[in-house]
Chain A
Amino acid sequence: MSYTIIEVCNGCGACKRLCPANAISGTQKSLHVIDGSLCIECGACGRVCPKQAVKDSLGRICTAVKKSEWEKPVFDHKKCNSCVICIDACPTGCLAMSGAMGKDKHGKPYMKDDKACIGCGFCAAECPVDAITMAKPAAKAA
């Protein structure tokens, strides 16, 4: 299963720059193509495409979302068991483990590189104890 790009693509290259799997190829101003064997279905291309040229793996046209409104992980450190799974699950490497938390020497995950986060939710999906929820930054502040 894979995302696909349809004819309306104007070759702006936004998706290609963002794709964490290097699955998208194409030259400026020409139709881009997704290599289905590389796509990990993170949806970043669909969220960023200004031309609604990306279809998800079920064939639905994706709608662009403003970057500032992309959902980001929120960690519940009480539930978290420091298993590091989320760090590994993240395709962009934007999470990291903290050092000792006061007396507790078990580190906890945190967002190290907010700009790199594509809001894919893989971290939350893979967390074995559901210690991560995805939320829009605005909702997070509230």
Chain B
Amino acid sequence: MGKGYMGKVLFVDLSKGDFKEETIPDEVYEKYLSGTGLAAYLLYNRIPAGADALGPENIFGLMSGLLTGTGSLFTGRWMAVGKSPLTGGWGDANCGGQFSPAIKRAGYDGILFTGISEKPVYLYIGEGKMELRDASGLWGKDAVETEEMLLEECGHDAKVACIGPAGEKLSLIAGICNDKGRIAARSGLGAVMGSKKLKAVVLDGCRRIPVADRDEMKNLSKICSKWVGMQPPFVPGNMTGFIGAFMRILPTQMAQDGMLYKVMLRKWGTVSMNQVSAEMGDSPIKNWSGSNKDFGMSKSKYVNPDVYTDCEMVKYHCYSCPLGCGGICKMTGKFSETHKPEYESVLALGGLCMNEDSDSIFYMNELLNRAGMDTISAGGTAAFAIECYERGILTKDETDGLELKWGNTAAIVSLIEKMIKREGIGDLLADGSKVASQKIGKGSERYAIHAGGQELAMHDGRGDPGFGLHYSVDPTPGRHTIGAWLYYEMFQLWKKVKSLPAVKPLYHKDAKYKADEEKAIWSNACSKFMNVLNGSGVCMFGAFIGIKRTPTFDWLNAATGWNKSPEDYMEIGERIQTLKQQFNIKHGIEPKSFKANDRSLGIPPLLEGANKGRTVEIDKLMKDYWTAFGWDPETGKPKGETLAKLGIE
């Protein structure tokens, strides 16, 4: 009887050009699931302390999720893993598309690469063949061109993950693409792939994915599918800003039910939040120094959600997704189409740089996707450069003559093009704002808005302190897909994990900003649960409609034949999070050093706008988070007894 996972991983030694299959014992899946959990287990001992992230000792992996291909829904995420050259610690990034099941159909839960190839290669697995093939002709091609050429060569049923020029040029903010420009963008893992001279992985297997109880999987999926299908008519896109403004003005807040967000995602995708977030103080504006006062509705209306759906030709569904938040949009100019830009990309290249030109955002979105460069970090770094220019820290000579002013669309586009090419000022910025600020000096560090080297995502901790905390404490810092107070509300974990406190249906907003004991419980729960999701390949948007409607724990039991309780799964998540933290300790990282940039935490507070006067009680929140995890409250290092309890050697 099947257990949902393939039970094997493949190690490819790029220096020697050889392959080694490794069977993974069942106990490992029971302790770490698959995906990033299994990867953390495999990489923790095998990457030597202090290894150069861009050297032969780093191990780079592409992982599928335990639930991928089991008849569950929302479980098509694949994960890139390895030591991050951007943060120096544990790196992972995940992405939807069609690539995740392809890993399992090739026979593996993950494919991992060691060493460095002498010349550019790609890995091909399919038709009973497994080989490293010459990729010299692909080197220099963008991600879309690369994929098209590989499909032509290997057959159109194959699935491709590849890097673009950003990864080749070892940009520390490069990611890995699949499905013509969807990108596992964070942690700089595209550079790791580039350093190994691994241009692409092409998979064309057709293995069956074994499942313990397929009928039960379907029963659960049918319920989930029904919830997702409920779609009441909704307000026009240009009204969404008013929802945000309304939420800003109210002194109280209703606990969020993800069903509302689901409706917006299905109609528009993540861009549904563009104006809502800008209005309610969720979107950072003007390199985190501005507010809704600077980027009000008269500016944000150019990025209202209807702008994106008006040119959307067809919805895009990742593998096993009943929602379809993505879309393929028509474009004019150099490119004929693009994946519908995401909220993160729009705001990073928009409000963060005070850019209100929607066409330029479409263009830069496609450009960055093709280059395989993270839009969040690219936008964040561009905003940093603009602020440096505006403050006279960078002069026109140093910017190759670009007038890097807030909202100067043409200059912002040129800057992004230069970053991709690593040309002139672009070379200075291609490794993110932290590296750039260290080179520039002159106090520019204050304007590099990152945590542990990674640019913060477009969610403001001054609006929801959970974001500020998770940016600062996660082993992969600076990301928005790891936890927030909002996420705790939407996951509704208390409906399954009885020890967790329910969120009050209506509460005074002030309660959000108090660093009380409950917050440590919330944030710990988010971290644990996100690790369960990333071990299973579950999309966070699916999880947003709540643990009962997207029944991750029940699917896991039905797929594996295990009989684990929700608490058991939360403990698995705790183990993975602790192991990732321990990975960072092994590589010499002081957890405190990951604390996000002061400005992003309201030090000093903003003088106006939605987040006026707010400061995140970051030190207390971090301490409480560490304490609740059984990590040392002063240093953030997992205690010996905690490691022993979780069975981490």
Q: Is the CB of A122 within 8 A of B324?
A: no
Question: Given A88-B101, A105-B327, A122-B208, A128–B217 Cβ distance below 8 Å?
Answer: yes
Tally A-B pairs: CB < 8 A: 83
Q: Does B408 contact A (CB under 8 A)?
A: no
Q: Which chain B residues (305-330) contact chain A, with CB distance < 8 Å?
A: 312-315, 317-322, 324, 327
Interface pair B317/A82, CB less than 8 Å apart: yes
Partner of B206, one of A35, A40, A83, A106: A40
**Cβ B314 vs Cβ A105 within 8 A:** yes
Determine if B320 and A107 form an interchain contact, defined as CB atoms under 8 angstroms apart. no
Q: Which listed residue (A35, A38, A84) contacts B317, Cβ 8 A?
A: A84
Cβ of B119 < 8 Å from any Cβ of A?
no
Stretch in contact with the other chain, from B160-168, B222-230, B244-252, B285-293: B222-230
**Chain B window 207-226, contacts with chain A (Cβ cutoff 8 Å), 1 for yes, 0 for no:** 11000001001100110010
The one of B214, B218, B313 that contacts A129, using a Cβ cutoff of 8 Å: B218
Q: Which residues of B contact A91 (CB under 8 A)?
A: 206
Contacting residues, chain B, for A35 (C-beta < 8 A): 128
22 A-B pairs, CB-CB below 8 angstroms? A21-B206, A22-B128, A40-B206, A83-B73, A83-B320, A84-B321, A85-B320, A88-B69, A93-B157, A97-B317, A105-B312, A105-B314, A105-B315, A106-B314, A106-B315, A107-B317, A122-B208, A126-B69, A128-B221, A128-B320, A129-B222, A130-B218
What residue of chain A has the Cβ atom nearest to residue B228's Cβ? A81
A137 within 8 A of B: no
Counting CB contacts under 8 A, is B369 at the interface? Answer: no
- Interface positions, chain A 92-124, Cβ under 8 Å from B, are 93, 97, 99-100, 105-107, 122
Q: Select one of A21, A84, A126 contacting B71, CB under 8 A.
A: A126
Which residue numbers of B lie inside 8 Å of A, CB to CB? 69, 71-73, 98, 101-102, 105, 127-128, 156-157, 206-208, 214, 217-218, 221-222, 225, 228-229, 312-315, 317-322, 324, 327
A13 is an interface residue with CB less than 8 A from chain B: no
Contact assessment for B315 and A128 in the assembled complex, using a CB-CB cutoff below 8 Å: no
Interface centre among B73, B102, B312, B318 (most CB of A within 10 A): B73
A126 to B73 Cα, complex, angstroms: 11
Please give, as numbers and ranges, the residues of chain A lying within 8 Å of B207 by CB-CB distance.
40
User: A41 on the interface (CB 8 Å rule)?
Assistant: yes
- CB closest chain-B residue, reference A125: B214
- A128 close to B128 (CB less than 8 A): no
Q: Is A64 interfacial (CB-CB < 8 Å)?
A: no
- Flag whether A23 is at the interface (Cβ < 8 A): yes
Interface contact B229-A107, CB-CB below 8 Å: no
| CA distance in complex: A40, B6 (Å) | 14
How far is B71's CA from A132's CA once the two chains are assembled, in angstroms? 14
* Chain A residues with CB under 8 A of B214: 125
Q: Are B314 and A107 in contact, CB atoms less than 8 angstroms apart?
A: yes
Chain B residues, CB < 8 A from A93: 156-157
Interface on A for B, CB 8 Å cutoff? 20-23, 35, 38, 40-41, 81-85, 88, 91, 93, 97, 99-100, 105-107, 122, 125-126, 128-130
A90 nearest CB across to chain B (Å):
8
With A88-B101, A105-B314 already in contact, 11 other A-B pairs whose C-beta atoms are closer than 8 Å: A22-B127, A38-B128, A40-B207, A81-B225, A83-B317, A84-B318, A93-B157, A100-B314, A125-B214, A126-B69, A128-B320
Q: Tell me if A100 and B228 are in contact (CB < 8 A).
A: no
Chain A residues lying within 8 Å of B157, measured Cβ to Cβ, are 93
- Complex Cα distance A109/B315, Å? 13
In angstroms, Cα B214 to Cα A82, docked, is 19
What are the 3 closest A-B residue pairs judged by CB atoms, nearest first?
A: A128-B221, A93-B157, A81-B322
Name B129's closest neighbour in chain A (CB-CB).
A22
For residue A40, give the distance in angstroms from its CB to the closest CB of chain B: 5
Taking the nearest CB of chain B, how far is it from the CB of A3, in angstroms?
A: 13
A99 with B313: CB separation less than 8 A: yes
Question: How far is it, in angstroms, between the C-alpha of A105 and the C-alpha of B320 when the chains are bound?
Answer: 17
User: Could you tell me the distance between the alpha carbons of A86 and B193 in the complex, rounded to whole angstroms?
Assistant: 31
CA distance A107 to B318 in the complex (A): 12
What's the Cα separation between A38 and B322 when bound, in Å? 31
A130 to B393, CA, bound (A): 62
Evaluate contact between B317 and A23: CB separation under 8 angstroms.
no
For B72, list chain A residues within 8 Å (CB).
Answer: 128
Q: Give the interface centre of A91, A100, A126 by most chain B CB atoms within 10 Å.
A: A126
Is B221's CB under 8 angstroms from A129's CB? yes
In the complex, A105 Cα to B325 Cα: how many Å?
11
Q: Which of B98, B208, B222 contacts A128 (CB 8 A)?
A: B222
**What's the Cα separation between A22 and B225 when bound, in Å?**
35
Task: Assess the A106–B317 pair: CB atoms within 8 A.
Answer: yes
Residue among A82, A126, A130 making CB contact with B315, cutoff 8 Å: A82
**In this complex, what residue of B is CB-closest to A41?**
B208
Name the A residues within 8 Å of B206 (CB-CB): 20-21, 40, 91
Given A35-B128, A83-B320, the answer on whether A99 and B314 have CB atoms closer than 8 Å is yes
A100 and B313 in contact, given A20-B206, A83-B321, A126-B71 (Cβ under 8 angstroms): yes
Residues of B within 8 A of A126 (CB): 69, 71
Taking a contact as CB atoms closer than 8 A, the residue among A21, A81, A84, A122 that contacts B229 in the complex is A81
Q: A84 to B128, Cβ gap below 8 A?
A: no
**Cβ of A128: which chain B residues have Cβ within 8 Å of it?**
71-73, 217-218, 221-222, 225, 320
User: Min CB distance, A17 to chain B, in Å?
Assistant: 13
Considering the complex, give the chain B residue whose CB is closest to the CB of A98. Answer: B314
Q: Which residues of B contact A122 (CB under 8 A)?
A: 208
B208 contacts A129, C-beta separation under 8 Å: no
**Most B-side CB within 10 Å, residue of A21, A82, A128, A129:** A128
Q: How far is the CB of B539 from chain A (nearest CB, A)?
A: 12
Report the minimal beta-carbon distance from A71 to chain B, rounded to whole angstroms.
18
CA distance A38 to B126 in the complex (A): 11
Q: How far is the CA of A43 from the CA of B560 in the complex (A)?
A: 26
Bound-state Cα–Cα, A99 to B327, Å: 11
A94 — nearest CB in chain B belongs to which residue? Answer: B157
Q: Which residues of the partner chain B approach A106 to less than 8 Å between Cβ atoms?
A: 314-315, 317, 324
Minimum CB–CB distance for B108 against chain A, Å: 13
B424, chain A: closest CB distance, angstroms: 42
Minimum CB–CB distance for A52 against chain B, Å? 25
Q: For the complex, what is the distance from the CA of A81 to the CA of B320, rounded to whole Å? A: 9
- Give the distance to chain A from B182, nearest Cβ to Cβ, in Å: 14
Q: Please judge, given known A-B contacts A23-B128, A106-B317, A107-B314, whether A40 and B208 are in contact too, CB under 8 Å.
A: yes
Q: In angstroms, how far is the closest chain A Cβ from the Cβ of B536?
A: 15
Q: How far is the CA of A107 from the CA of B327 in the complex (A)?
A: 11
Nearest opposing residue in chain A for B76, CB measure? A84
Residues of chain B within 8 A (CB-CB) of A81 are 73, 225, 228-229, 322
CB distance from B252 to the nearest CB of A (A): 36
- Cα A135 to Cα B318 in complex, Å, equals 28
Cα separation A97 to B73 with both chains bound (whole Å): 18
**B322 to chain A: which residues have CB within 8 Å?**
81-83
The smallest beta-carbon distance between A110 and chain B, in angstroms, is 14
Q: Which residues of A contact B318 (CB under 8 A)?
A: 84
Q: In angstroms, how far is the closest chain B Cβ from the Cβ of A118?
A: 11
